[in-house]
Chain A
Amino acid sequence: MAQPANPHAMAPSRPGRTRTAPPMKPGNWPSSTRYRTYLAFDFTGVIYLLAGFAVLGAARAFAKGPEAWSALLASYRSPLWLLFHALALASVVFVGVRFFGLFPKAQPARIGPAKPPPRPLLHAMLYAAWIGATVLLCAILGGAIL
C-alpha cells in the first residue's frame, strides 16, 4: 500500500485552480528489493560511524601501552566484537561493490583538458586499488612483511 510522501512534495509555489490529492510514495516502497538495497546502503552509515570509533578505541588502547593493547586484543575475542567486526566487513564490502559500480559514471566527460579513463577501466582500477590495499594491509598487520 502506498505511503504518503511529504505533503508538499512537487507542490507549485502557488496553488492551482482545483483541490489536489496529496502526493504518495511509489506503491512498491518499501517492499522493492532495489529500494531496500538503497536504504541498506544509506544505513551502513551507522556501521561506518561505529567502525571509526572502534578503530579510535583501538588506537587509544595502543597509545596507553602494551597492557592496554593486549587487553583490547583479548576483548576482541568476545562473540559481540567478532559479530561487529564481521558485520562491519560485510557492510564495507557491500558499500565498495555498490559505490565502485556507481563511481565511474559520476566522472564528467572532461574537466578542462582532463578526461577520465574509460568507465570499465576505471572500474577495474578501483577494484585493483581495493584488493591491493587489502592484501598489503593484511600482509603488514598479519606479520608477513615488515
Chain B
Amino acid sequence: MSDLKKKTFVVTRFDPDKDQVPKTQSYEIPCRPEWKVLDALNYIKDEVDGTLSHRWSCRMAVCGSCGMMVNGEPKLTCKTALSDYGDHVEIGPLANFPVIRDLVVELEGFMEKFKAVKPWIIRAKEAAPEEGPYRQTPEELAAFKQFSMCINCMLCYSACPVVAQEPDFLGPAAAALGHRYDMDSRDEGAEERNAVFRGDGTIFHCSYANECSEVCPKNVDPAAAINQAKLLAVLDWAKGFVVPRKGAK
C-alpha cells in the first residue's frame, strides 16, 4: 500500500439541468504508480463521486472514446500515464466541442463532417462477384494505409486552431479520411470528394499548423493527408480546364 500516492484532480463539471456554466471540482485520491489518467477517473466515479460522467471503452487506445484535455492538451486518457504528471492534474472535456455534460462532448457535428466527405469506395460500376476481389499491390496499399488508421478519437479537432475559429471547416480527421479514399486504387470518387474539399468546409483553410499530427495517438498524420489533398484538388481543378469533366454535374 506504500506505493500509493495522493494526487489532486481538478475536473471540469457541467450539469445542463443545474449549471449555467461549467465549473471545476477537485478530487484528492490515492493513485497507483502504473495508473493511467482513465484509471484515476474511474476510481473517482466508482469510489468518490458517482455523478461524474466520462466516456471510455476499450482501455487500450483503439476505440477512440476516452479523449479529454489533460493539463490543456488533448489526450487519450487510457493511454496517458499519471507518472508523466505531477501531483496536480487538470482534466477537461475535449476543446473546440460543445459540452453535453462534465467530460462528455457533442460529437454529432463531427459525424456530419465525416459523412460529408463520402468515406466509402465510390465506383462507377461495381465488379461482378465472379470477377473475384479487387487486387491491390503492397505499394497501392501503402499509398493510403496510414490514413486508414484513424480511430475517430477527435484529439485532432481539439488541437486544430482552424477548427477553433471556423465552424464550417471539415477538420483533420474528416479530410484525412476523404483523402484515404482518394488514394485508394479501388476508388473512383476523387472528383466528387474534391467538390466537398473545395466547398464550404474547404480544406484550403487548413494553415498547416501540424497540431493535429502532433496529438494523433495513431500516427495517422492528418496534416500530411490534408496537404496532399490540397495539391491533388488543385491538380484536379487545373485538369478541368484541359480535359472535359465526365458526366453532367
Binding stretch for chain A, among B1-9, B31-39, B58-66, B208-216: B208-216
Task: Tell me whether chain B's interface is mostly helix, strand or loop, or mixed.
Answer: mixed
A12-B109 contact, Cβ under 8 Å, with A2-B72, A2-B92: yes
Contact A38 B209 (CB under 8 A): yes
Q: Nearest residue in A to B226 (C-beta to C-beta)?
A: A106
> Among the listed A25, A102, A107, which residue makes an inter-chain contact with B96, where contact means beta carbons less than 8 Å apart?
A25
CB contacts (< 8 Å) of B158 on chain A: these are: 26
> Among the listed A11, A21, A25, which residue makes an inter-chain contact with B14, where contact means beta carbons less than 8 Å apart?
A21
Task: Tell me whether chain A's interface is mostly helix, strand or loop, or mixed.
Answer: loop
A28 CB within 8 Å of chain B? yes
Size band of the B side of the interface? 35 or more
CB contacts (< 8 Å) of A87 on chain B: these are: none
A25-B95 contact, Cβ under 8 Å, with A2-B72, A11-B109, A35-B211: yes
Contact B165 A102 (CB under 8 A): no
CB contacts (< 8 Å) of B72 on chain A: these are: 2, 26-29, 32
Binding stretch for chain A, among B43-51, B98-106, B119-127, B128-136: B98-106
CB distance from B16 to the nearest CB of A (A): 4
A77 CB within 8 Å of chain B? no
Contact B163 A9 (CB under 8 A): yes
B108 CB within 8 Å of chain A? yes
Q: When chains A and B are docked, how far (Å) is the Cα of A42 from the Cα of B206?
A: 12
Chain A 1-30 per-residue mask, 1 if CB under 8 angstroms from chain B, else 0: 010011011111100101111111111110
CB contacts (< 8 Å) of A118 on chain B: these are: none
A60 CB within 8 Å of chain B? no
Contact B165 A10 (CB under 8 A): no
Q: When chains A and B are docked, how far (Å) is the Cα of A18 from the Cα of B18?
A: 12
A111 CB within 8 Å of chain B? yes
Q: When chains A and B are docked, how far (Å) is the Cα of A9 from the Cα of B97?
A: 6
A109 CB within 8 Å of chain B? yes
Binding stretch for chain A, among B79-87, B228-236, B240-248: B228-236
A16-B228 contact, Cβ under 8 Å, with A24-B95, A26-B159: no
Taking Cβ atoms with an 8 Å cutoff, the residues of B that contact A are: 14, 16-17, 19, 21-22, 69, 71-74, 90, 92, 95-101, 106, 108-112, 142-144, 157-159, 161, 163-167, 171, 183, 207-211, 214, 221, 223-224, 227-228, 230-232, 235
**Could you list 22 examples of A-B contacts with CB < 8 Å?**
A2-B72, A5-B165, A6-B166, A6-B167, A9-B96, A10-B106, A10-B167, A11-B106, A12-B106, A13-B109, A16-B106, A19-B16, A21-B16, A25-B95, A28-B71, A28-B72, A29-B72, A38-B209, A102-B208, A105-B223, A106-B208, A106-B227
Add 7 more A-B contacts to A2-B92, A32-B72, A111-B232 (CB < 8 A). A20-B16, A22-B98, A22-B99, A23-B95, A25-B164, A26-B69, A38-B211
